[in-house]
Amino acid sequence: MTFDLTPEQDQLRDAVRALGRRYGHPYFVAKAKSGQHTTELWAEAGQLGYLGVNIPTEYGGGGGGITELAIVCEELAAAGCPLLLLVVSPAIAATVINRHGTEEQRKRHLPGLADGSQKIVFAITEPEAGSNFHRLGTVARRDGDGWLLSGRKCYISGVDEADHVLVVARTEDTGTGKLKPALFLVPTDVAGLTRSELDMEILSPENQFLLYLDDVRVPADALVGESLDAGLPALFAGLNPERITVAAMGAGTGRYAIERASEYTATRKVWGGRSIGSHQGVSHPLAHAAVQVELARLMIQKAATLYDAGRDLEAGVAGNMAKYAAGEAAALAVDTAVQVLGGAGMTTEYGVATLLGAVRAGRIAPVSREMILNFVAQHVLGQEKSY
């Protein structure tokens, strides 16, 4: 057992950290407040190979795994630039296509995902069903040599920036008559697909949308995989990378907040000429938050290592735990940073209150803390399913 990164992973961490700090949180905030996207950062990260670290080299990627992509997510967030589309496009879409797509789909999409010239977002959540794929209302039915998709999706990130959306729908198995999930690569400019932006109380350069699919026709090769049998394993293939990279982004955000707060409390002097950080009422909450973030990072490392080793069931448990731990730790770290900075903590200048909405959302999405506790109770503790 080792907790050390390889030399290549260390170099990746240092390089991504340098890139993130060159842009920094003020850049991130300015883009979000002006309704723009972090286009320059994304493009440079793609050119440097950071967006494709988990994509095989034969498709233009770095040949690494989710461990490497988690490093990219964490270090950009630790520099004050948490990019949600890293989770959606390289982690979910690229993994699904690489592991379960056809060779033609891999050749068509993976090189663009690797260099950042293409973005594919993910659409599973629905207004009524949430992310419960057993209850999805979006249906796909055969239409000649293609498919017709109809339904609604909500909280779909970054559709306005993407070329394609990976839509999870239900299809009917002609052999059994049972409904089963299937994934489709749908161009965002296809006829019948419309969107409506959601107003969110989260400061982010990435927007959230409602999607409406009104008999959207796609060709046969839009179906991910060689047959409908690929649907369920393809869906699950994207969920563990999603949880691990969301957790990494949360851990990085927690590190950023603690670093900002620690710099302030170590130099701010009010009572008797001593730094406010010398008082345990200030330093202990920060230390406690730092411990929680570090514990989350350890679970993220475990989950990513298991996933890259092909131990999917164990990675599912560890990935859920990592997401839970990082979501709680990030929220604690940002809230603590705001508190110890006092009034300064609520200003844009000091750059911590700007993350309050995002870290609070991290306890809800992409899976709520309560559903993770249900998962752990059932699959780790052997308790009866409660829902």
- What sign results for the dihedral spanned by CA atoms 120, 125, 126, 132? positive
The interaxial angle of helices 39-47 and 7-33, nearest 10 deg, is 160
- Rounded to an integer, the average pLDDT of 88-108 is 98
Q: What percent of the chain has pLDDT over 90?
A: 90
Which of 327, 333, 308, 312 minimizes the C-alpha distance to 368?
327
Say if residues 82 and 358 touch (Cβ distance below 8 Å).
Answer: yes
This prediction's pTM: 0.96
Q: 54: pLDDT confidence band, cut at 50, 70 and 90?
A: very high
Contact 223, 147 (CB under 8 A): yes
Q: CA 80, CA 65: separation in Å to the nearest integer?
A: 24
Instruction: Give 267's contacts (C-beta < 8 A, 6+ positions apart).
Output: 275
Nearest to 62 by CA among 8, 5, 119: 8
Whether the Cβ atoms of residue 160 and residue 36 lie closer than 8 Å to each other: no
pLDDT band at residue 384, thresholds of 50, 70 and 90? very high
Cα 298 → chain centroid: 18
Least confident of 127-131, 239-243, 345-349, 375-379: 127-131
Strand partners, 184: 167, 223
Residue 30's Cβ-side half-sphere holds a number of Cα atoms within 13 Å equal to 9
Does pLDDT of 230 surpass 70? yes
CA 134 to chain centre: 22
Give the Cα-Cα-Cα angle 135, 163, 132 (nearest 5 degrees).
10
Report the C-alpha gap between 222 and 149 in whole angstroms: 11
**Predicted local confidence at residue 268, as pLDDT:** 95
* DSSP notation for 331-372: HHHHHHHHHHHGGGGGSTTTTSGGGHHHHHHTTTSSS-HHHH
Instruction: Report whether pLDDT(377) > 80.
Output: yes
For residue 40, is pLDDT > 70?
yes
Question: What's the confidence (pLDDT) of residue 196?
Answer: 98
Rounded average pLDDT over 23-48: 98
Q: How far is CA 163 from CA 291, 313, 328, in A?
A: 40, 32, 33
Q: Is the dihedral of CA 208, 139, 124, 191 positive or negative?
A: negative
Q: What percent of the chain has pLDDT over 70?
A: 98
Specify whether the CB–CB gap between 197 and 208 falls below 8 A: yes
Using alpha carbons only, give the angle 93, 99, 105 rounded to the nearest 5 degrees: 65
Q: Is the model's pLDDT at 213 over the cut of 90?
A: yes
| pLDDT of res. 176 | 63
Kindly report, residue by residue over 155-169, the tens digit of the pLDDT.
Answer: 999 999 999 999 999
Q: Tokens at residue 109, please?
A: 């999409």
pLDDT digit string, tens, across residues 167-200: 999 997 656 666 789 999 999 999 999 999 999 9
* Burial (0-12, 13-18, 19+ Cβ within 10 Å), 137: middle
- 187, 195 contact by CB (below 8 A): no
pLDDT for residue 214 is more than 90: yes
Tell me what the mean pLDDT of segment 344-351 comes to: 97
- Helix, coil or strand: residue 163: coil
How far from 9 is each of 52, 88, 137, 178, 242, CA to CA, in Å?
Answer: 14, 22, 42, 45, 20
> Bridge-partner residues for 36, per DSSP?
none
pLDDT at 175: 60
Output Rg (C-alpha) for the chain, integer angstroms.
Answer: 21
- What average pLDDT score do residues 18-22 get? 98
The DSSP symbol for 3 reads: -
pLDDT tens digit string along 275-309?
999 999 999 999 999 999 999 999 999 999 999 99
